[in-house]
Structure formats: C-alpha cells, structure tokens
Amino acid sequence: MKAALLLVLTVWLNVQYGGCAFSSSCSLPPSKWCSSLDSAIQCGVLKQCLMSNFTRSHQTADQVDVGLYYESLCPGCRLFLTQMLLPTWVLLEEIMSVTLVPYGNAQEKNVGGKYVFECQHGEQECLGNMIETCLLNMTDASGAYEIIHCMETSDDVISAAKSCVDLFSPELKWESIESCVNGDKGNQLMHQNALKTQALNPPHKYVPWITVNGAHTDDLQDKASTSLFSLVCSMYKGPKPAACGGSQRGFRSYSKNE
C-alpha cells in the first residue's frame, strides 16, 4: 500500500523545518508519488519511497486489520474516520490495514429484484455511502482513503465528492462513479455491505462500530476510540516500527442502531 499521506506529512515537515523534499515540478497526486521511480524522482520523494518499500519488504507478521462499519453523515463516524483511523494508518501503514464498510444502521429491502436502502440520516447519507462504496471498489486503497478523507472533512460531504476525486485521482472520471452509484454495480456493492454488517458477531449496536482483526469487544472499541495508534502498536506481533509510541486524543461519539 502506498505511503502517500505519510509523504504529504513528511514534505510538510521538511518545508516547515528547513528541509527540501517536494519538487514544484510534481504534477501528480500524492497517491501516485511512489508509483514509479520516475514519479518519485519528479516529486522529490525518492528517499521516502525507498524507505517505505524497504520496511514493507522486511515485514515479518500479519498486519493488524482495523474495520470500520460507519455512515457517511454520522458525526461520530466522521470524527473517528478523519481524526483517528486514517491518521493512524498514515503513520502505521506498514503494520496496519483498514477495512471500510459504509452502511451502518441502514436498512435494505428487495423491490422487484433491486435493493432499496433507507439510511439513518436520510437520502443524502445513502448517496454518500454509495459514492464511498464505489470509490473503494474503483480505485486503490490509498487513493480511496485520500478521497474519502477529503469528503468527510468537508462541510458538505456530498458536494465535495467530485472536487475530491478531481484532486486526488484525476484519472478517475466522475461519470464512471456516477454510473456505479446509479447502476446495478453500486446496488450490488451496497448489498454486500449490508450482508457484511448483518454478519457482525456480536451484532452492531451503534456506529462507528470498530473491529480489530475481525473481532469486536467493548474493550477493543474503547481502546480504539481512545488511542488506536497505541492499540495497533501493541497488537502487532512482529518487530515494532520506529513510529510506535505516543498517544492520541480519544473520540467517543455514537449513533445507536434503533
């Protein structure tokens, strides 16, 4: 998985503290900086790309998988996603994987062979869930995370979607996303999200609902909400990366499944 967001932070720190990393000749979005030797050189991040690839090649244990079952317009979900989950992944991507399932407390019913969804925060949330589901299916993980993070940190999640796609994955045509959202493909993808959510054991009672390596307990939920960074570092069974350590501000804000 590409270290795009980590590179953004690295470049910012270099600029702030007198370094010289990012090249003004770089026209690529962050998710593409490490896609080839030429792009890494062009964007002035060759050293960071090589270090990231070296770390992953020497990984000796399974990554810690953090699953988030959420809704696109749920305030607590947006807070955890943007200020805890994805920032932690940026720092620990070599030992951590992320599974996003946009559905949450939604309900589905089959009407004439097509699924119809009703979402907790209304039709706009159903649309946001569908856009993010299509993004996760249509682009690589790091690119999807960048776009979703951009959407969820915006004042208007839905209105921001197209500009976020244009910024972080300009090769992905908005028309193709709309086709997925409004067509059978998106309908079936959302049905799969419904099945994944319904298969949770124990059944989810609220969102954000967090799983770690497929498991959910009150203790894991509490630790992930308080300091996901520390939880992932403690659960990784291989040699700890240099980044492990520190703490984060906790976030506990739930939307109950009624």
pLDDT band at 26 (very low <50, low <70, confident <90, very high): confident
What is the reported pLDDT for 72?
A: 98
Percent of the chain with pLDDT strictly greater than 90:
70
- β-strand 209-212 against 114-118: which pairing, if any? unpaired
Percentage of residues in the chain having pLDDT higher than 70: 79
Q: What is the pTM of this model?
A: 0.78
Q: Where are the domains of the chain?
A: 64-235
Q: Which are the contacts of 51, defined by CB distance < 8 A and separation ≥ 6?
A: none
Q: Among 35-49, 80-94, 137-151, whose mean pLDDT is lowest?
A: 35-49
* Residue that has been written with the tokens 């925060």 in this structure: 121
Q: Which residues contact 59 (CB under 8 A, 6 or more apart)?
A: 94, 95, 238
Query: Which of 69-78, 140-149, 187-196, 247-256 has the least mean pLDDT?
Result: 247-256
Class of domain 64-235 (CATH, top level): alpha beta
Judged by DSSP in three states, 165 sits in: helix
**Residue 4 · residue 33 · CB < 8 Å:** yes
Joined together, the tokens standing for residue 18 give: 């007198």
E strand spans, 6-91: 64-70
Instruction: Supply the pLDDT for residue 53.
Output: 62
Measured between its terminal Cα atoms, the distance across the chain in Å is 37
Highest mean pLDDT among 18-22, 91-95, 219-223: 219-223
Residue range 88-143, pLDDT digits in tens:
999 999 999 999 999 999 999 999 999 999 999 999 999 999 999 999 999 999 99
Asked if residue 106 lies in contact with residue 71, where contact means CB atoms within 8 angstroms, the answer is yes
Who contacts 182 (Cβ-Cβ below 8 Å, separation ≥6)?
none
pLDDT at position 36:
74
Angle (CA) 258-129-91 rounded to 5° is 105
Helix (H/G/I), strand (E/B), else coil: 213: coil
